[in-house]
Amino acid sequence: MKCPYCRYHDSKVIDSRSVEDNEKIRRRRECLQCKKRFTTYEVVEHSPLMVIKRDDSREAFSREKLCSGILRACEKRPVSMQTIEEMVNRIERKVHNSFDREVTSNIIGEYAMEELKKTDEVAYVRFASVYRQFKDINTFMEELNKLLQND
């Protein structure tokens, strides 16, 4: 690590601490030449996860897009923003832990439906109706019957 003061190429670490829920490491360093101290932050660099859509096109995984879909399903339902954030965090963690570079949108949709089913059945049905693209009332009723049988 180059010193920001004298540009010397070497320094020693004086102190290391985890910050932001163990997502970053803060390091206090001392330049071996000028003896000035400075702080650096170390972050894990994730390779971008690509989502394979139904039409076989690919786009980068978007936490915002996932959150937006779940928010729409939970609109006017007694589901707090904190609960929605926690659902999105679990889904995102599951996707990043299970897949290396690519994941299908179907799998992300299934993970979202699992979370919604545990949280709010009406939001689950709303999400499923868009996600599963129900063609008519019969397919919608089939999904409702599955939900009722699992209770």
For residue range 38-67, list pLDDT tens digits in order: 999 998 776 788 999 989 999 999 999 999
Domain count, the chain: 2
Q: What's the whole-model pTM score?
A: 0.64
* Position 2 in a domain: no
57 within 8 A of 28, measured Cβ to Cβ? no
- Where is average pLDDT lowest: 26-30, 87-91, 92-96, 146-150? 146-150
Instruction: Judge if 75 and 137 occupy the same domain.
Output: yes
Instruction: Judge if 85 and 125 occupy the same domain.
Output: yes
Q: What residues make up the domain containing 19?
A: 11-43
Instruction: Judge if 98 and 30 occupy the same domain.
Output: no
Instruction: Judge if 129 and 86 occupy the same domain.
Output: yes
124 within 8 A of 73, measured Cβ to Cβ? yes
Instruction: Judge if 66 and 37 occupy the same domain.
Output: no
112 within 8 A of 103, measured Cβ to Cβ? no
Instruction: Judge if 28 and 101 occupy the same domain.
Output: no
Q: Residue 71 pLDDT > 70, yes or no?
A: yes
Model pLDDT, residue 60:
92
Instruction: Judge if 64 and 98 occupy the same domain.
Output: yes
* Position 18 in a domain: yes
For residue range 84-109, list pLDDT tens digits in order: 999 999 999 899 888 888 999 999 99
